[in-house]
Amino acid sequence: MKLILLGAPGAGKGTQAEIISETYKIPTISTGNIIRAALKAETDMGLKAKAYIEKGELVPDEVVIGIIKDRLAEDDCKNGFILDGFPRTIPQAEALDTMGIVIDAALSIEVEDSEIVKRMSGRRVCEKCGASYHTLYKKPIKDGICNSCGGKLVIRKDDEPETVLNRLNVYHSQTEPLKDYYKAQSKLLLVEGQEDVKDTTALVLKTLSEI
């Protein structure tokens, strides 16, 4: 299965991607995680992306399109993949089409802005492996410590409240139009993501089982 996950920042794309990845045995490709890893390793790409990511703005299309081209060429993508956080603009979606990548569906997780703001304030990430947690909804076993690698849990710089509002604006103006783009291709699936993670997961898996 070749799947795109759409939704506002904090809608739960990452969490659902993990579950779909295990269920369908396909890799998740998260441009956010790839960019953050590059930032940490201080590669050229990471340094270029730093200012954008920290302000909650989008990294330039040509940079992320390059990342995705390289990543999709890897062996583990042969049997399918989940794109988490890409495409985020119309030109990025057009680039996928130009690459000849035919996706099965673009699944959008629908959550209201007020709920997004609430969720983002509790979000924590492992500074070592990037795993994500939440102070209310997805607590680690040990406070402030990553379950899988023992790393320290921190607030992502772009999860600070002012930046979250900026990311929501960017989502509505640049990413949300992708819903119409995929609707026109009869690929759009909408899933209610407003309730508990397990409710959303059940809906996501049911929706995917029907395509």
Q: Interface with Zn ion includes 129 (CB under 5 A)?
A: yes
Binding map of ligand ADP across residues 135-174, x = CB under 6 A, - = no contact? -----------------------x--------x-------
- The distance of closest approach from Cβ of residue 49 to ligand ADP in the complex, given in angstroms and rounded to an integer, is 7
The active-site residue out of 36, 71, 123, 124 is 123
Size of the site for Zn ion (CB under 5 A): 7
Q: Interface with ligand ADP includes 181 (CB under 6 A)?
A: no
Query: Is 71 a catalytic site residue?
Result: no
Query: Is 142 a catalytic site residue?
Result: no
Token pair 């759409």: residue:
6
Nearer to Zn ion, 47 or 129 (CB): 129
Helix/strand/coil (H, E, C) string of the chain? CEEEEEECCCCCHHHHHHHHHHHHCCCEEEHHHHHHHHHHCCCHHHHHHHHHHHHCCCCCHHHHHHHHHHHHCCHHHCCCEEEECCCCCHHHHHHHHHCCCCCCEEEEEECCHHHHHHHHHCEEEECCCCCEEECCCECCCCCCECCCCCCEEECCHHHCHHHHHHHHHHHHHHHCHHHHHHHHCCCEEEEECCCCHHHHHHHHHHHHHCC
Query: What is the b/e burial string over 51-65, where b = at least 16 CB atoms within 10 angstroms of the residue's CB?
Result: eebeebbbbebebbb
Asked whether the beta carbons of 193 and 200 are under 8 A apart, the reply is yes
Q: Interface with ligand ADP includes 59 (CB under 6 A)?
A: yes
Q: Which of 56, 105, 125, 204 binds ligand ADP (CB under 6 A)?
A: 56
Binding span for ligand ADP by CB under 6 A among 28-36, 96-104, 105-113, 201-209: 28-36
Q: Which of 39, 48, 50, 52 binds ligand ADP (CB under 6 A)?
A: 52
- The distance of closest approach from Cβ of residue 159 to Zn ion in the complex, given in angstroms and rounded to an integer, is 17
Nearer to Zn ion, 18 or 94 (CB): 18
Q: Interface with ligand ADP includes 31 (CB under 6 A)?
A: yes
Q: Interface with ligand ADP includes 93 (CB under 6 A)?
A: no
Residues near ligand ADP (CB under 6 A): 9-10, 13, 31-32, 35, 52-53, 56-59, 64, 85-88, 92, 158, 167
Catalytic amino acids?
13, 88, 123, 156, 167
